[in-house]
């Protein structure tokens, strides 16, 4: 039983990744933090493709909860293997550093960077034993170029990029690839309150991207066709200069 785990799979880019990976034939573990109704909606979209799905509620930033819920699932499902991991859960708490609270700094770093660590630690050993796997980290344009008003988010995503490159080299010989995807502006709940009219003028394609467009790239990195690509960051941003 081969599974793909998508953190933050209940909404937005994560949901589109779940559907794409289901189309590729993977059973899907949908992680979410609190929005059960959205996770159930994702599950119904996955089931259309005839694969199994399970919902796993945990906060990726909470190491104990990740160990309990995800580690518990791995212990109980010995015959199953998480072959694809998409570290997608992330939040924004935008403000200038001069007015940023410790909480705003911490929660963003804890969700993206610490969350990636917490989840990858649970999944990695079985993947190493199986000598095959795909790890895909959802980063951001902000992590490549830095964005004013997003010192916390830029730091979190840049940290994930460094970890992607280092881990890729550690485990390449076990046939496990680790790559990062850096979206620009994608139409999801996360970007809902941004001034779209103003921002599209900065984008050569004059539109926000769709979650499904990001999911196509996830599908490629998850597939065997991407077998000789590892440690890379691929931008998907409608031509924004990075």
Q: Is 91 in the site for ligand NAP (CB under 6 A)?
A: yes
- With CB under 6 A as the contact rule, the residue among 114, 118, 164, 188 that binds ligand NAP is 188
CA distance 20 to 218: 8
- With CB under 6 A as the contact rule, the residue among 77, 93, 175, 191 that binds ligand NAP is 191
Q: Is 88 in the site for ligand NAP (CB under 6 A)?
A: yes
Compare residues 169 and 189 and give the one whose CB is closer to ligand NAP: 189
Q: Which stretch binds ligand NAP (CB under 6 A): 10-18, 121-129, 168-176, 220-228?
A: 10-18
- With CB under 6 A as the contact rule, the residue among 89, 124, 218, 222 that binds ligand NAP is 89
Catalytic member of 117, 153, 228, 241:
153
Q: Is 177 in the site for ligand NAP (CB under 6 A)?
A: no
Enumerate long-range contacts of 128-132, CB under 8 Å, 24 or more apart: 128/171, 128/174, 128/176, 130/81, 130/83, 131/174, 131/175, 131/176, 132/83, 132/174, 132/175, 132/176
- What residues have CB less than 8 Å from 186, skipping those under 6 apart? 12, 13, 208, 209, 210, 211, 213, 214
Instruction: Give the shortest CB-177-to-ligand NAP separation in angstroms.
Output: 19
- Annotation marks residue 132 as catalytic: no
Instruction: Give the shortest CB-41-to-ligand NAP separation in angstroms.
Output: 10
CA distance 15 to 53: 12
- With CB under 6 A as the contact rule, the residue among 5, 19, 33, 222 that binds ligand NAP is 33
Compare residues 45 and 128 and give the one whose CB is closer to ligand NAP: 45
- What residues have CB less than 8 Å from 128, skipping those under 6 apart? 171, 174, 176
Q: Which stretch binds ligand NAP (CB under 6 A): 20-28, 97-105, 183-191, 222-230?
A: 183-191
What does the DSSP assignment read for 6-66?
Answer: ETT-SSHHHHHHHHHHHHTT-EEEEEESS-HHHHHHHHHHHHTTT--EEEEE--TT-HHHH
CA distance 54 to 161: 29
Q: Which stretch binds ligand NAP (CB under 6 A): 11-19, 78-86, 198-206, 223-231?
A: 11-19
Binding footprint of ligand NAP on the chain (CB under 6 A): 7-8, 10-14, 31-35, 38, 59-61, 88-91, 111-112, 138, 140, 183, 185-186, 188-191
Active-site residues: which are they?
A: 153
């Amino acid at each position: 039983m081969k599974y793909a785990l998508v953190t933050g799979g209940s909404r937005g880019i994560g949901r589109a990744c779940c559907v794409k990976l289901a189309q590729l034939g993977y059973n899907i573990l949908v992680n979410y933090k609190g929005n059960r109704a959205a996770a159930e909606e994702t599950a119904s979209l996955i089931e259309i493709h005839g694969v199994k799905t399970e919902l796993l509620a945990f906060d990726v930033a909470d190491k104990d909860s990740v160990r309990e819920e995800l580690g518990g699932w791995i212990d109980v499902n010995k015959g199953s293997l998480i072959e694809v991991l998409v570290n997608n859960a992330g939040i924004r708490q935008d403000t200038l550093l001069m007015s940023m609270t410790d909480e705003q700094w911490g929660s963003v770093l804890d969700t993206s960077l610490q969350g990636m660590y917490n989840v990858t630690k649970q999944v990695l050993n079985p993947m190493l034993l199986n000598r095959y796997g795909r790890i895909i980290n959802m980063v951001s344009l902000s992590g490549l170029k830095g964005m004013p008003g997003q010192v916390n988010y830029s730091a979190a995503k840049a940290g994930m990029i460094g970890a992607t490159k280092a881990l890729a080299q550690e485990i390449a010989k076990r046939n496990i690839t680790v790559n990062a995807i850096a979206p620009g502006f994608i139409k999801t709940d996360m970007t809902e309150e941004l001034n779209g009219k103003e921002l599209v003028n900065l984008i050569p394609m004059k539109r926000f991207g769709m979650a499904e467009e990001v999911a196509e790239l996830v599908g490629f990195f998850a597939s065997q066709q991407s077998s000789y690509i590892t440690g890379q960051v691929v931008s998907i941003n409608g031509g924004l200069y990075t």
